[in-house]
Structure 1
Amino acid sequence: MNQVTLGLVGVGRIGVMHARNIAALREPFAARGVDLRLKLTDVAEQHAGNVAAEVGADFVSGGAAGLIASGVDALVVATGTPTHPELIRVGVDAGIPVFCEKPVAGSIADSLPVLDYIAERGGVVQIGHQRRFDEGYLEAKRRFDAGGIGWIHSLRAMTGDMFPPSDDFIATSGGLFRDCSVHDFDILRWLTGREIVEVYAKGSNNGDPAIGAVGDVDTALAVVTFDDGTVGTVSATRYNGAGHDVRLEVQGSKSSVMVGLDDKTALRSTEAGVTFPAGETHKTFAERFDAAYRAELAAFIELVLGERDNLCTPADAVAASRVADAAQESLETGRPVRVEVPARA
């Protein structure tokens, strides 16, 4: 049986979720002849020890360096954004694959040297854009690639949080477009195979005044233009009281599809006799993308095993961040902003 030991750095909210998902993947990988093991570390050692005990992992002190010294086959980075560049470099220098939550770094300027570092050393790094592993988005892409949708004439993407995160988080998030809509920008680029070349954004702030006080908005809309002239919209809000709502409409010359339309969709019809959707809505992104988060880690483990290609490269993530930056600039200036288009990964 092959043995794969993952080293997880950071066990905050996302890190705990990843630790539990890795534990849940042990059985299916064991059925494939893979002994999946986990070591984890965090500066909050008592908390990390409790998490390790919960998921059957080993706690290791000394951060990423301690994990690597203890012997791991890959690194999973679930720490705050400012630490991402250094931890990616640590993993690349150790010659092991790295999975890192988005973004690569806090800005494009800080991300580009990381891309160069990875490329120069032949590093393998997968970035955590989990929507690429959601079955609804995958099916939409399969239908588009197979020609069933025809040529796309418009796209409508949305991300609606049921309630906002803490004021402290919002103050350091980089803004609604960078925090939430970057996932939509990534998925539009991935699904269509096209680049977004221009963004025009507007926003409003009718909720907690504290969000405006730190320079952010609670609701925003961006009109995006692709390199072939196709147009789309990307909207986001912190106050979608009906529930956590993430959807994508893809409208084409042959048919239209919607990702996220099921019995848990946070909508109610006003038409007589229509009861769909009738289920309880999702409350958070963790519920909405529960299966996708496990699928992206399964894909990373398969990448470590050499069984598949990297399905979300650092260059992909930086391309989405460029669009989010342009959207933020447009929001602040009130003007359309052209997006610098990098070479495709």
Structure 2
Amino acid sequence: MKVGCIGLGDIARKAYLPVLGALPGIELHLQTRNPETLARTADGFHIPPDRRHTTLDSLLGQSLDAAFVHAATVAHPEIVTRLLEAGVPTYVDKPLAYELADSERLVELAERRGRSLAVGFNRRHAPGYAQCADHPRELILMQKNRAGLPEDPRTMILDDFIHVVDTLRFLVPGPVDDITVRARTEGGLLHHVVLQLSGDGFTALGVMNRLSGSAEEILEVSGQDSKRQVVNLAEVIDHKGQPTVRRRGDWVPVARQRGIEQAVLVFLDAVRAGRVLSARDALATHELCERVVRTVRERSGAA
């Protein structure tokens, strides 16, 4: 199977290439416009010269069976469009695009072409978070915080808070009938945002504070007098009487702990089997993010 990887930044080098490079039966091709980055990365993963590409045209000339897109978000619409038009099943790191209209267009293009389009919401596959889907979920709370990183609202929400939004959507136990957004902006930069989703018998809260003093990610689900807490995707704590702690094993790869390995395998297994994966549910997450962006900007007085 010929698989292309487009964009060789941190997420590709640290998370995806170690997985792809270890899979049997994969002929891996790399593409980036920066020759130095291409040579350094390809050397590190023992990719031969004929599988190194500085242009998308060169990569598309290899008759790819699948592609992974880890380029900058602003480049996603053009790259994904060209891949889908060439008939290549495509996995793209979240988000599909900064603008909802572009995301909608890409999903519709994939459907017209009958090709898979998968979005990298790896937390749905992370073991700790997947286990929360089996726990009572009357109250869901997810925090994903950073230190010293206030940012433009659209960039912050689509590049980072989108993980919180998608995880809440994944875990809510029923239809959402009420959506509430609260946020604080200063000087056009988003400091923190809170999203509340409510339905029959449940409430889900997603929080991101970019001035929290530390980088952390904590998920809690509770109900029926018990609680499950996941700290930084590595530690699962069950609370029912005395807390019970389960930590990531010393030899468990980070990509598996974070659900990236599982997401890659699901996508490639579908490609091998000829099954088309739809991005419609991922698009619903983008639509909710767009609602958050608009609410934040309206309340901050931004255009």
Same fold (TM over 0.5): yes
Given candidates 187, 194, 198, the residue that maps to 2:167 is 187
**CA pair 307-204 structure 1, distance change in 2 beyond 3 A:** same
Q: What is the aligned partner in structure 2 of residue 225 from structure 1? A: 198
Tell me, what secondary structure is at the counterpart of 1:218? strand
Q: What is the aligned partner in structure 2 of residue 247 from structure 1? A: 218
Shift of the alpha carbon at 1:187?
Answer: 1.6
> Is the aligned partner of 1:234 residue 2:199?
no
> Is the aligned partner of 1:19 residue 2:9?
no
**CA pair 262-223 structure 1, distance change in 2 beyond 3 A:** closer
> Is the aligned partner of 1:178 residue 2:158?
yes
The runs of 5 or more residues in structure 1 that have no matched partner are 206-211, 266-273, 280-285, 336-345
> Is the aligned partner of 1:57 residue 2:57?
no
Shift of the alpha carbon at 1:71?
Answer: 3.3
Name the CA distance, whole Å, in 2 between partners of 1:233 and 1:203.
13
Shift of the alpha carbon at 1:124?
Answer: 0.7
Q: What is the aligned partner in structure 2 of residue 109 from structure 1? A: 101
Deviation per residue, 1:50-83 (Å, 9 max, x gap):
1011012244335333112123221111111222
Q: What is the aligned partner in structure 2 of residue 297 from structure 1? A: 264
Name the CA distance, whole Å, in 1 between partners of 2:191 and 2:228.
28
Shift of the alpha carbon at 1:130?
Answer: 0.9
Tell me, what secondary structure is at the counterpart of 1:217? strand
Name the CA distance, whole Å, in 2 between partners of 1:107 and 1:289.
30
On the 8 A contact 1:160/1:236 being kept in 2, the answer is yes
Shift of the alpha carbon at 1:96?
Answer: 2.4
Q: What is the aligned partner in structure 2 of residue 268 from structure 1? A: none
On the 8 A contact 2:183/2:194 being kept in 1, the answer is yes
> Is the aligned partner of 1:330 residue 2:301?
no
Moved more, 99-108 or 87-96: 87-96
Name the CA distance, whole Å, in 1 between partners of 2:158 and 2:77.
17
Q: Give the residue type in structure 2 aligned to 1:199.
A: I
Shift of the alpha carbon at 1:20?
Answer: 2.7
On the 8 A contact 2:256/2:262 being kept in 1, the answer is no
Name the CA distance, whole Å, in 1 between partners of 2:229 and 2:166.
17
**CA pair 70-43 structure 1, distance change in 2 beyond 3 A:** same
On the 8 A contact 1:160/1:238 being kept in 2, the answer is yes
On the 8 A contact 1:201/1:334 being kept in 2, the answer is no
Indicate the RMSD between aligned Cα atoms, in angstroms: 3.3
Name the CA distance, whole Å, in 2 between partners of 1:262 and 1:240.
19
The runs of 5 or more residues in structure 2 that have no matched partner are 237-241, 248-252
Shift of the alpha carbon at 1:229?
Answer: 6.3
Moved more, 299-308 or 178-187: 299-308
User: By percentage of residues, which structure has more strand?
Assistant: 2
Deviation per residue, 1:159-190 (Å, 9 max, x gap):
123x345x8xx44x724333322112112222
On the 8 A contact 2:35/2:54 being kept in 1, the answer is no
On the 8 A contact 1:85/1:114 being kept in 2, the answer is yes
**CA pair 307-69 structure 1, distance change in 2 beyond 3 A:** closer
The equivalences for 1:128-207 within 5 A come to 128-141=120-133, 143-144=134-135, 149=136, 152-161=137-146, 163-164=147-148, 170-171=151-152, 174-192=154-172, 194-204=174-184
Q: Give the residue type in structure 2 aligned to 1:201.
A: V
Shift of the alpha carbon at 1:93?
Answer: 2.2
On the 8 A contact 1:175/1:217 being kept in 2, the answer is no
Name the CA distance, whole Å, in 2 between partners of 1:164 and 1:122.
43
**CA pair 239-118 structure 1, distance change in 2 beyond 3 A:** same
Q: Give the residue type in structure 2 aligned to 1:316.
A: D
Shift of the alpha carbon at 1:40?
Answer: 0.4
- TM-score relative to the length of structure 1: 0.72
Tell me, what secondary structure is at the counterpart of 1:199? strand
Name the CA distance, whole Å, in 2 between partners of 1:261 and 1:174.
24
**CA pair 175-202 structure 1, distance change in 2 beyond 3 A:** farther
